[in-house]
Structure formats: C-alpha cells, structure tokens
Amino acid sequence: MKKILQLVLVFSEIFIQSSCLLIRQYHYISNPLNWTEAQTYCRQNYIDLATIESSEEMDKFLKAIERPTELESTVKTNSRYGDFWIGLNNEINWKWSDGFSGGITADNYWTSEDQYHSRTDQICLTTSKTNRLSDFDCDSLLTFICYDETLQNTPKYIFVNETMNWSSAQRFCRQNFTDLVTVENEQVWFQKELTDKGVSGVKLKWTEQRDGNVFQKEESKTNLRSNCKHSCSM
C-alpha cells in the first residue's frame, strides 16, 4: 500500500431514538495518509472511513464533495489532489489450488502494473520464466503445469502442452496427477527443473474460486479500482 492521498473522508453517526433515524456526518481530513493509516485515524477519532449504503446516499455524498463547505470540516477547495479514501476495500489473501497459503505471493514477485491488483476484471494469475506474477483473464486458454506428490523425493512437475482455462487445467491435474503446481520455495527448484527439461517461456495460472479450496482472494466484496496493497476504493 504505497499511494498517499491528501483527502480523507470519514463519518460519524448520530442515532435519533425518537425518529429511529441514522444520520451520518461526513468529515473532511486534509492530511495525506495511505488507506490503512486513514482507517486507523478515522476509527480513533470518529467511527470509520466513509460508508455509502445506497444510490441516494451516494448522490448526496457526491453533491457534498462538489460543495465541500457542506462537510463538517475546513476544506481547501483549491486542493491539488482530486482523490480521497472512503471505507470500501477488498482485502486480498492468496492461497494455492491445493490449499497451501505460503510461497511466492510477496509484492516483489508481482509485475509493476499488477502488484496492487487494480485490474479487477483479471483475477487469475500467470507466471513465466521472468519469475513475476501477473493478473490475468480466468477464461484465457494457456498451457499449464501440474505436480505429482506421489513420486519419491521431490515432487515432479509436469508441463502440459495443451491450452485450457484455469478450471479445466485444475480438473485435468487433479484427475491425472495431484493438482496444479504449488511453489513453496520461491521457485528455485521449480525453475531449475524447467531449465533442466529444456522448457522455457512457460506460463502457469491460478484463479479465484468459490469453493474456498484454491489460490484465491477471500471474502471478495465487489469489483473495485485500487492502487494499494489491499484493494481500496478512492
């Protein structure tokens, strides 16, 4: 999470028992914070980052932004920043097809354009001899790699020179071997095995599945634009 924004909107809630109404007051914070810092600040000083629960509320919210004096704070209308954080986010926790949750999911393994997972229509992953992960279309047809854990010593990786989408590739690997490839040691042995077999330019692919037993984003809420380590709305 590396993007810093100057504008942060938070809200406080006032519950009026006599009318059973929940009134939100939005507060503008002209302090540059990343999303996590903004969330912490809002929770410490108010209730949370701004929450918008309906299209009507969104319309009022957008009008308030256009007329910032309506917000419960001092607003610099000539701010050079045009974005601000609100409360919507989609935290990403990755795991592999066979359930393993470790391995090469650190930021340094992502391509520069995909390390923030901003391309929400591309929720599957590919990799190649560049040792970089990239978001990809789940329905694309790619070659893939299975592994067989029944073999002695180290697991054997099987390159399948046939193009399938991710679900079909997973099904093929589970029917014929163990599963789609899982790399637990930062690809060192895996890359060496491919090189020894004379295989280069290989792509393998993971995706989000609904059964919870694959390498995926968990508790996905909605498609979002993001530019931070956790997919956060601006």
What is the model's pLDDT at position 228?
A: 40
Query: Could you say which residues of the chain have pLDDT below 70?
Result: 1-24, 54, 61-138, 153-155, 183-234
* Domain identity same for 169 and 126: yes
Kindly state whether residue 12 falls inside one of the protein's structural domains.
yes
Claim: this prediction has a pTM higher than 0.85: no
- Please check whether residue 124 is in contact with residue 208, taking contact to mean a CB–CB distance below 8 angstroms: yes
* Domain identity same for 122 and 172: yes
Kindly state whether residue 18 falls inside one of the protein's structural domains.
yes
Kindly state whether residue 180 falls inside one of the protein's structural domains.
yes
Take residue 64 and report the two structure tokens written for it: 């308030």
- Please check whether residue 69 is in contact with residue 41, taking contact to mean a CB–CB distance below 8 angstroms: no
What is the model's pLDDT at position 183?
A: 62
* Domain identity same for 155 and 194: yes
Take residue 120 and report the two structure tokens written for it: 């929400």
* Three-state DSSP state, 113: coil
What is the model's pLDDT at position 176?
A: 92
- Please check whether residue 46 is in contact with residue 62, taking contact to mean a CB–CB distance below 8 angstroms: no
Rounded Cα gap, residues 181 and 199, in angstroms: 15
* Domain identity same for 34 and 70: yes
Rounded Cα gap, residues 71 and 29, in angstroms: 10
- Please check whether residue 101 is in contact with residue 94, taking contact to mean a CB–CB distance below 8 angstroms: yes
Kindly state whether residue 212 falls inside one of the protein's structural domains.
no
Express each pLDDT in 91-109 by its tens digit: 566 666 666 655 554 454 4
Take residue 170 and report the two structure tokens written for it: 């997973």
Kindly state whether residue 211 falls inside one of the protein's structural domains.
no
* Domain identity same for 44 and 115: no
The parent domain of residue 170 ranges over: 107-206
* Domain identity same for 115 and 78: no
* Domain identity same for 112 and 194: yes
**By C-alpha distance, which of 5, 84, 13, 72 is closest to 48?**
13
Length of the chain: 234
- Please check whether residue 8 is in contact with residue 49, taking contact to mean a CB–CB distance below 8 angstroms: yes
Kindly state whether residue 170 falls inside one of the protein's structural domains.
yes
* Domain identity same for 194 and 122: yes
* Domain identity same for 76 and 123: no
The number of folded domains in the chain is: 2
Rounded Cα gap, residues 213 and 225, in angstroms: 26
* Domain identity same for 64 and 137: no
What is the model's pLDDT at position 225?
A: 38
Rounded Cα gap, residues 157 and 170, in angstroms: 14
Kindly state whether residue 134 falls inside one of the protein's structural domains.
yes
Kindly state whether residue 132 falls inside one of the protein's structural domains.
yes
Phi, psi of 108 (to 5 degrees): -70, -10
* Domain identity same for 34 and 118: no
Look-up: residue for tokens 């490839």?
181
* Domain identity same for 9 and 72: yes
* Three-state DSSP state, 134: strand
What is the model's pLDDT at position 48?
A: 84
Rounded Cα gap, residues 204 and 9, in angstroms: 41
Question: What contacts 112, CB < 8 A, 6 or more positions away?
Answer: none
Residue spans of beta strands (DSSP E) within 46-104: 48-49, 84-85, 89-90
